Structures are given as structure tokens and as C-alpha cells.
Amino acid sequence: MARLSIDRLALWDESLCLRCNRASRRRDVRVVLRVASRLGDGAFWYALMSTLLLVHGRHALVAVLQMLVTGGIGVTLYKWLKKKISRPRPYRIIQDITLSAAPLDQFSFPSGHTLHAVGFTTVALAHYPELAWLLVPFSILVAASRPILGLHYPSDVLAGAALGAGVATSVLLLS
């Protein structure tokens, strides 16, 4: 019974991944999501932290330090999980998936981009809720880019979001 449920979830995940990936056929979608994905590699978050320090000075130090701790824990966690689980990326398994961006590593689970987008956004908004207009849409674009560009299954993205929220919340509560 449990195996049947797991198999159904896997089929649903693959089917949803294929449907998401079809959006990459549109050039405008592909271009926007490649940019979001590339910025989500770190450049956007480093720019955000730098800007917070430039605009708010030492008052931003706690937020930036919490973001750095969240990022450090996030990298450690997702690298360990990727190595431990070793789930191949969808374009390697599903013949009809179109890869539209270069992967940073070989494994899929969890989505590190999504983990960091949600984690950094959670911490930043705890200190600067007025940035929600920028950070929430950007994080959604980063998360959406992963299955649309053929790099992750939707379950990888959901797991990354849950892990990012959990790490950030823990950092905020323990600080």
C-alpha cells in the first residue's frame, strides 16, 4: 500500500514536471526564468545584503548576519541531502524534458536555489517587510524556474522551500 502511494506520487511529480517544462518552449518565459535562476545563484542575494548595509548601516547587520548563517546552514544541508539521496535531475530520466539552463551540480533533490530564495526572503522580510513587493515575486520566479528549465522536479522545489523556511525560522528564533 505504501509503495503504491509512493509510486503514484512519483508519477504525479514526473507528470507535473513535464507540464511545467513545456512553458520553456516560449522564448520569453525561458529568458526571464534563466535570468531569475542565474541571479538566484547568489548575485541577487549578495546585492541585497550589500544594499541593506549601504542603506541601513549597522542597523542591517543583524539581518545580514542572519542571512549569512541561513545561507551557510542551507548550503551544508542541501549538499549533504543531494549526496545522500543522489536523485538524478529530470532531464536525465524523462526523455521529453528540455534542459534550458546549465545545472550547477548533477543531483536534483532538494532545490538549493529554492531553499536559499525562501530562506533569505524569510529572514529579510522579518526585518524589512516593505521589501515583500520585490522579494516574494523574485523568490517565486526562482522556484518556478527550476522545473520549467528542466532542472528539478516539483517535489525538489517544495522540499527546498520547506527546508529554506525551516532553516530561516530556526535562525530567526535562535538569534
Would you kindly state where each structural domain of the chain is located, as residue ranges? 28-174
Low-confidence ranges of the chain (pLDDT < 50): none
CA atoms of 74 and 113, how far apart (whole Å):
10
pLDDT value for 75: 95
Q: Is 111 left (phi over 0), alpha (psi -120 to 50) or beta?
A: beta
Tens digit of each residue's pLDDT (9 = 90 or more) over 35-75: 999 999 999 999 999 999 999 999 999 999 999 999 999 99
Phi, psi dihedral angles at 107 (to 5 degrees): -105, 160
The owner of cell 548563517 is 69
CB 88 within 8 Å of CB 107:
yes
Q: For the whole model, what pTM was predicted?
A: 0.91
What's the pLDDT score for residue 58?
Answer: 94
Contact 157, 114 (CB under 8 A): yes
The answer to whether 85 and 109 are in contact (CB under 8 A) is yes
Nearest Cα residue to 141 out of 23, 10, 48: 23
pLDDT of residue 102: 84
